[in-house]
Structure 1
Amino acid sequence: MSNELKIKCIKDTEGWWTEGDMYPARVVGGGFVQVGDDDEPNGEGWSAAPVEYREDGSILYQVGGIDGEVLFEEATQ
């Protein structure tokens, strides 16, 4: 099983991501993912925690440690 996935930015009040764009992410344990930003899309500069497991199988992630709100969605496979 690969720990690589693509997640979609659905909200960004910080300006590091583009809403609607897909970003590569890597599962790092405990359900957390590391994701890059617009400056380094393939980087691992940010950690996002799962905040909602939806009935359709998708997962909502939120970047922590920032003042604003940044949300990503992992679509069902």
Structure 2
Amino acid sequence: MAKKTKNRKGLSRIEREKYILKSAFDVFSTYGYRGSTTKMLADAAGINEVTLFRNFKSKKNLFKKVIEHYTFLARFEELEP
């Protein structure tokens, strides 16, 4: 189970990950995969590149997680009446 402890900015690990995914979605949507740099992705989320890599290991992995997250949300919304 994921930790629910708060970091110094007041976000839990899960909340922080969701925020990074949302920020990355916005950057990828605007610039595409190739046009997006890890610096752009980190800046959009208000974090540094070290934190980005600590959480997602690579730009490719972050892109994959963004797709998985938003695919899950879209499927979940389809289930609602």
With normalisation by structure 2, the TM-score equals 0.25
Relative contact order, higher structure (CA 8 A, sep 6+) = 1
Whichever of the two has the greater Rg, that structure is 2
Between structures 1 and 2, the one with greater helix share? 2
Between structures 1 and 2, the one with greater strand share? 1
With normalisation by structure 1, the TM-score equals 0.26
